Amino acid sequence: MKKAASTTLLLVVMLILNSTVLAQDKALTVDDYDRWSRIVGAEISNNGDWMAYGLRPNGGDDTLHVISLRSSSEHIIPLAQNVSFSDDSKWAAYTVAVDEETRKKMNESGDEIYSQAELLNLETGEKYSVERSAKMEFSEDGSYWAVHREMPESDKSKHEGRDLIVRNLQDGTVTNIGNVSEFAFNKKSTMLAYLVDASEKEGNGIYLKNLNTNALTSLDTDTLSYTNLSWDDENTHRTKWNDKGTGLAVLKETAIDSLSHPKTELLVYRNLDTNLNRSLLNPDSQSSFPDNMVISANRDLSWSTNGELIFLGFREQEPEIKMDKDTVANVDVFHWKDDRIQTVQERQATRDLQYTYVASFNPKNSTFARLTNEEMRALNFSDHNRYMIGRDEKPYMDDINWGVSPADLYRVNLQNGEWTLFAKNIKRTNGYSPDGRYYLYQKIAEQDTMLYVYDVEQNTNTNLSEAAPVLFTNTDHIYPHESPTFGIAGWTKDGESVILNHKYDLWMLALDGSQAQNITKGLGEQEKIIFRYETLDEDEEYINTSNKLLLSAFGEWSKKDGFYKLNIGDSPKPLIYEDASFGNVEKARDANRIILTRQTFVEFPDYYQTNSEFNDLEKITDANPQQEEYAWGERVLVDYENSRGIKLQGTLTLPANYEPGKKYPMIVYFYEKMSDRHHQYSMPVYDDRPHMSTYASNGYLVFMPDIDFEFGRPGTSSLDCITSATQKVIDLGYADPDQLGLQGHSWGGYQSSFILTQTDMFATVVTGAPPTNLTSFYNNIYGSTGTNHHGIMEIGQVRMGRNVTPWSNLEAYQRENPMFHAPDIETPFMILHGTDDGAVDWMQGLEFYNAARRLNKEVVLLSYPGEGHHLGIEANQIDFQLRMKEWFDHYVKDMPAAEWITDGIPYIEKRYNKAE
């Protein structure tokens, strides 16, 4: 009996072990994708005790998790999202939506869909809900929670006012304020201002509630409309909140039937907590206000940092013209003198119709100053109280301005509107110092690229580059136009220097141009580690160089990632630096607790908690435990060279249960530089790309190589790099040379289409949303923006070179043109394209299909009606994932072909047309 029992037990154990092994070896398929979830909207409370995040499953509804980082306490709220914590970390607020199935039914029936705002007491778990939430927010001190409600569906009135629910979180009392159109707490949480817009306009006005005394004050009441409520502390640094929050600006509008825009006044209130002072800007009585102009509500009101000026928008008044469309011709006049092509004007029509010029108003002396006009339309705002920088782009407007925006730069006096030109034809800028005194920009002079800093107070330009032994422009920039800098790390607290990024290291440059110091001591250059400054203080304005600095660190060739610490004067020292990728770093404002993600190809980017020394990372989320059931691959780096001897790299995904020495089928997926994704988790999601996890789970290698482009030779450069990289993987013994597939989308679609015409190395090619005819593509329109393709063709992603056009260099266009080489195609291929693609016109895909069909090539076009540059409808995404896998399985793995591959699908047999 004992022997029989032990034998039975042994069999049971063996069965369990075998089933576990089999479960772990399960191949991943599209049918399994709905088991995977993403983490969205992660937040940490100010005291570091709580973290909130959403779990969003593929094709499913969000679930909010609010977890204690000090205990096992957890709150799970289905259908919740958009979470925020109160300042005192005692409360969490979020919205609760209806589930997707209900949403679909309500959309079909035309019912209004509302969200519910909910407040959670983190200690007790008690909840308080408000239906029909449009907007919610805490006061900055965490004492109040306000919810602005939507109008009920039954209310057909046209006024803008709705209920505002204000809950006192100290005593639980609730106030319902009716007919509120706008509301805002001041930053120090002593007052709540709101505007009323009621039915029949009765009671309309500006109201102020003192949150300490509950006293209510009506600042102005009328039967007119009030908009654009603005506190004087809206953009003020936290340290200055107590000195602000006593000024309020509002627009007051009078609609006139014969005019397009209402007549508007600006009301300004100062010293709200002591001796109230009221000022008025009425354009009709302001002599300096431009004729036939009105104040516009299309630009938000804002205050200068010292509270002396209010910035507002104004625009030309226009008569209201009523026309019958049946009597007016519908014609767009494309003119050669247009500064923007008509298609661009069409896409930007709403922006143009709402455009406003900028002015300042001083309520103390009631002076008005115009700051921009038709020549200089853009003003870059800063914290400086006397001067800001204006941009005049008009002299340089051109279809070829891809990736750059040339402009003449002016200092603008905020008090009187006076302009002072200080730099011409500037293509790249790096912005202001935090106080707005200094402005950093790049200028090419005598073939040298120099960095200048402009002092708005002294009206002086200083060359910062002269003192540095290095150039701060990225000479490896991949496009044939003015190269950018590597970026700015920040401005020093002593006001004397700016810290700039170089390729690897950080440099501190004196603002007077006297010296330049490599503060990372050249360690980045030496070890090929890219160092960048990382701040954990969301309120930080300046870099305090007397403190220890935190640096992110990324190994250019090792792909290691992590963080270093730096004391100025010493070399950087590692805190954590390993074979993984870190991201989403956030520190609790009032505690030494940090949350961040860590990921590898095998490990989902779950969240971990640690401290500012990055000691003892503790995992706090486990979003996808089901992954353990599936066969998964791993990644290795592959170094290779192209035919020009340029060193390149790629990341190779090995199939699950990889056996050294065995040759595997391989898919090559690429775009430009892909090796930096070496530690990127391959999330199974519904989209239009091959997922490395799925293909590796099903016995494929997936290779993502880098490409180095030679200007004027985009296709041949890609061909060189891709074939060199693929041959290297073959030579290393990984890939079966007879089982290779290639896939690229968009720009990768162009490259894969070109490679298709040049080599038979690949058994098949799948090309998505591809530009296929460079000659016609040159004059196509980018549908999403209306711009033509001249810029992207010459100095942008296609890189043909400035002024290299189909007329000036037809040979180059033909050499790099997939369509021109279509007769040379020897490989079966498949095209994916959406008919409403706003980046690459659908006709490009159709043109390539028609050419290949006419030439009797083996081609299939998967055309998805109504879809854009990437598939957005889940059913279509799943369909393409399945068809792409079936296509590769057949042509790469020699598996039996699906019927649609051999026979196609007649239009009348299309399942979608038969569905109800």
Amino acid present at 302: S
Residue 712: the pLDDT is 95
Give Cα 752 to chain centroid, integer Å: 27
Give Cα 296 to chain centroid, integer Å: 29
CA distance 757 to 772: 11
Measured in degrees and rounded to the nearest 5, phi and psi for residue 310 equal -115, 130
Q: In 341-372, which positions are buried (b, 16+ CB within 10 angstroms) versus exposed (e)?
A: bebbeebeeeeeeeebbbbbbbbeeeebbbbb
Concatenating the DSSP letter of every residue in 820-863 gives GGGGG--S-EEEEEETT-SSS-HHHHHHHHHHHHHTT--EEEEE
Element (H, E) at 138: strand 127-138
CB 829 within 8 A of CB 890: no
* Chain length of the chain: 916
**Residue carrying the six token digits 């958009």:** 82
Classify burial at 618, counting beta carbons within 10 Å of its beta carbon; exposed 0-12, middle 13-18, buried 19 or more.
exposed
Classify burial at 904, counting beta carbons within 10 Å of its beta carbon; exposed 0-12, middle 13-18, buried 19 or more.
exposed
CA distance 179 to 159: 8
3-state secondary structure of 440: strand
Instruction: Return the half-sphere exposure (C-beta side, CA atoms, 13 A cut-off) of residue 700.
Output: 27
Residue 258: the pLDDT is 85
Dihedral angle sign, alpha carbons of residues 713, 716, 719, 725: negative
Residue 260: the pLDDT is 86
CA distance 248 to 279: 11
Amino acid present at 808: S
CA distance 314 to 295: 4
What six digits make up the tokens of 485? 């800098």
What pairs with residue 176 in β-bridges? 165
Give Cα 255 to chain centroid, integer Å: 38
DSSP one-letter code for 561: E
What six digits make up the tokens of 566? 């730096």
- From the list 726, 751, 782, the residue with the least C-alpha distance to 671 is 751
- From the list 415, 433, 438, the residue with the least C-alpha distance to 304 is 415
CB 516 within 8 A of CB 506: no
Amino acid present at 880: F
For residue 670, what are the CA distances in angstroms to 366, 626, 665, 673, 705? 61, 29, 17, 8, 6
CB 54 within 8 A of CB 64: yes
Q: Which residues of the chain register pLDDT less than 50?
A: 1-23
For residue 900, what are the CA distances in angstroms to 830, 860, 905? 12, 10, 6
Concatenating the DSSP letter of every residue in 13-81 gives HHHHHHHHHHHHTBPP-GGGGGG-EEEEEEEE-TTSSEEEEEEEETTS--EEEEEESSSS-EEEEETEE
Amino acid present at 233: D
Concatenating the DSSP letter of every residue in 779-826 gives T-B-TTT--BSHHHHHTSTT---TT--TTT-HHHHHHT-TGGGGGG--
In this structure, what is the dihedral angle of CA atoms 811, 815, 821, 824, given to the nearest 10 degrees?
120
CB 868 within 8 A of CB 883: no
DSSP one-letter code for 652: E
CA distance 289 to 295: 10
What six digits make up the tokens of 19? 């089933």
First to last CA, the chain: 64
Count other C-beta atoms under 10 Å from residue 268's C-beta: 23
What are all long-range contacts of 495-502, with beta carbons under 8 Å and residues at least 24 apart?
495/433, 495/435, 495/542, 497/545, 498/433, 498/438, 498/440, 498/453, 498/464, 499/533, 499/543, 500/451, 500/472, 501/472, 501/532, 502/470, 502/472
CB 488 within 8 A of CB 439: no
DSSP one-letter code for 366: T
Q: Provide the edge-to-edge strand list for the sheet that holds 387-392.
A: 378-380, 387-392, 407-413, 419-426
CA distance 602 to 28: 14
CA distance 742 to 748: 10
CB 220 within 8 A of CB 252: yes
Predicted model pTM: 0.93
Concatenating the DSSP letter of every residue in 212-271 gives TT--EEEEEE-SSEEEEEEETTTT--GGGGGG----EEEEEEE--TTBSS-EEEEEEEE-
Residue 24: the pLDDT is 57
- From the list 515, 504, 429, the residue with the least C-alpha distance to 467 is 515
CA distance 797 to 761: 25
What pairs with residue 252 in β-bridges? 226, 265
Quick: pLDDT tens for 775-824. Answer: 999 999 999 999 999 999 999 999 999 999 999 999 999 999 999 999 99
Dihedral angle sign, alpha carbons of residues 102, 107, 109, 115: positive
Q: What is the CA radius of gyration of the chain?
A: 31
CA distance 504 to 467: 19
Residue 10: the pLDDT is 43
Amino acid present at 342: Q
Give Cα 342 to chain centroid, integer Å: 28
For residue 70, what are the CA distances in angstroms to 67, 119, 124, 596, 620? 9, 21, 16, 17, 11
Q: In 766-778, which positions are buried (b, 16+ CB within 10 angstroms) versus exposed (e)?
A: bbbbbbbbbebbb
CA distance 415 to 405: 28
